[in-house]
Amino acid sequence: MASIRLDKVWKKFGTTEVIKGIDMSIREGEFIVLVGPSGCGKSTLLNLIAGLETLSGGEIFIGSDLVNDIPPKDRDIAMVFQSYALYPTKSVRDNMNFGMVTRHVPQSEQTVALAEVAGLLHIETLLDRKPGQLSGGQRQRVAMGRALVRKPAVFLFDEPLSNLDAKLRIEMRTEIKRLHQRLGKTIVYVTHDQIEAMTLASRIAVMDNGHIRQFGSPEDIYERPVDLFVAGFVGSPSMNLFKGRVVEQSGLRLQVDDPAGAVHFPIPRNLHDAARPYLGRELILGLRPEAMVREGAHRPGSETFSFDRTIDVVEPTGPDTLLVFTLGGIEAIGRVDPQDKISVGTKFRFDVDMGRAKMFDPVTGLHLASVH
């Protein structure tokens, strides 16, 4: 087990800057998920920690050791790759043993470690097969097994589940979480799937364009996004972001114009002070789909606000039904109970809990509360 510390880490490929000065401190035993859109630098950052890429600047510590110039094999890490990267000409047993063989681990220890990990991952019966004879899920298990047998201080996962089908992905997700709870090792896990990030992480780092936009607990990331990027990236369907103008109309309100009639959302009380300087100017209102429900579905709170819209599309997902409507020039989505029968083209009255609303500065993109 070990902590990891990144200090002003830079990575350039030629003139392209991929990682732009990242500072990060990972505690021992934490499960850190790096999440972001493709090209944001998350895999590069993982490769830098692994030592598969050289740093252009900054320092990386694993435990108390500065590892800038230490090759991957001596960093006490193991990595699971998106493509599994199993050695195709070797049996499962030899795949898992390879790291121990190159390190001259005694035969008896190899046998014990292999048996233990094979049991943990339920792959005892596959040991004599070649990777080509395994299914996707089995390959995934072997790839994890290969990482586990060496008992490294840090595990690095590079989108390990993205090649699996949906059902298997959820199973393996649970399994990875269980493994982490059981082994308590430090894990750095890269994914573009924000649901994986939310379910697995002790802390999530949302990355964009070589920067970390926000680094915090899943709850922080979801409930208190620092800016428009994080707000829009995390959550599925993503947060509705309405642009409107701040007006004084029986209290401070955000007027969102629309051909079907403007809607005046009351600005949440806790944001009044921050929003007042914007009077007459634009702000962006962020509402998660689940914050918009059928009128009367919940007991009205002190900040409940109601409005109606014509529904354009109805998308039943099973547990919820998504209602798509247009407001302020964007396609907005509300998440309602499947019992709330609704047909396309009719009016639907939404209750919005404004207490959960987020407000963003349209120029800086920052969340209003965090401006001050």
C-beta closer to another protein: residue 72 or 237? 72
In terms of CB distance, is 150 or 356 closer to another protein?
Answer: 150
* C-alpha span between 167 and 69 (Å, rounded): 41
Whole-number minimum distance, CB 88 to another protein, in Å? 6
Nearer to another protein, 117 or 204 (CB): 117
**Minimum separation from the CB atom of position 19 to another protein (A):** 18
> Smallest distance, Å, CB 151 to another protein?
14
CB nearer to another protein: give 104 or 299: 104
3-state class (DSSP) for residue 62: strand
Chain centroid, CA 317 distance in Å: 22
Q: Can you give 283-326 as a three-state secondary structure string?
A: EEEEECHHHEEECCCCCCCCCEEEEEEEEEEEEECCCCEEEEEE
Cα–Cα dist 348/332, whole Å: 13
The CB-of-145 to another protein minimum distance in angstroms stands at 13
Q: Report how far apart, in Å, the C-alpha atoms of 34 and of each of 45, 57, 159, 192, 197 are.
A: 9, 20, 10, 8, 8
Residues in Cβ contact with 133 at an 8 Å cutoff, skipping those fewer than 6 apart: none
* Residues in Cβ contact with 207 at an 8 Å cutoff, skipping those fewer than 6 apart: 34, 35, 36, 40, 41, 42, 45, 213
How far apart are CB 69 and another protein at their closest, in Å? 15
3-class SS of residue 146: helix
Nearer to another protein, 135 or 317 (CB): 135
Q: 359 forms bridges with which residues in the sheet?
A: 285
Please report, as ranges, the residues that interact with another protein according to CB under 8 A: 47, 50, 52, 71-73, 77-79, 81-90, 98-99, 102-103, 146, 150
d(CA 12, CA 17): 4
For 182, other C-beta atoms within 10 Å of its C-beta total 9
Distances (CA, A) of 253 to 256, 283, 286, 304, 356: 9, 11, 14, 13, 15
Q: Which is nearer to another protein, 49 or 357 (CB)?
A: 49
Q: Residue 276 CB, nearest distance to another protein (Å)?
A: 54
Q: How far apart are CA 241 and CA 16, in angstroms?
A: 31
Of the pair 151, 211, the CB lying nearest another protein is at 151
Residue 55 or 332 having the CB closest to another protein: 55
For the CB of residue 110, give the shortest distance to another protein in the complex, in Å: 13
Least separation in angstroms between residue 370's CB and another protein is 39
